[in-house]
Amino acid sequence: MLFGVAGFGGYELFSSKKSAAAAREVQIAAPANEKQSKAKASFHPSRISENDLKLMANAVYGEARGEPFEGQVAIAAVILNRVKSSSFPDTPSAVIFEPRAFTAVADGQIWLTPNESARKAVKNALNGWDPSGGCTYYFNPETATSKWIWSRPQVKKIGKHIFCR
Rounded Cα distance between 4 and 18, Å, is 12
pLDDT per residue as tens, the chain (165 positions): 443 333 333 334 445 544 444 433 333 333 334 444 344 667 788 889 999 999 999 999 999 999 999 999 999 999 999 999 999 999 999 999 999 999 999 999 999 999 999 999 999 999 999 999 999 999 999 999 999 999 999 999 999 999 999
Q: How far is CA 102 from CA 59, 110, 144, in A?
A: 8, 9, 11
Q: Classify residue 111 as exposed, middle or buried by CB count within 10 Å of its CB (0-12, 13-18, 19+).
A: exposed
pTM of the model: 0.76
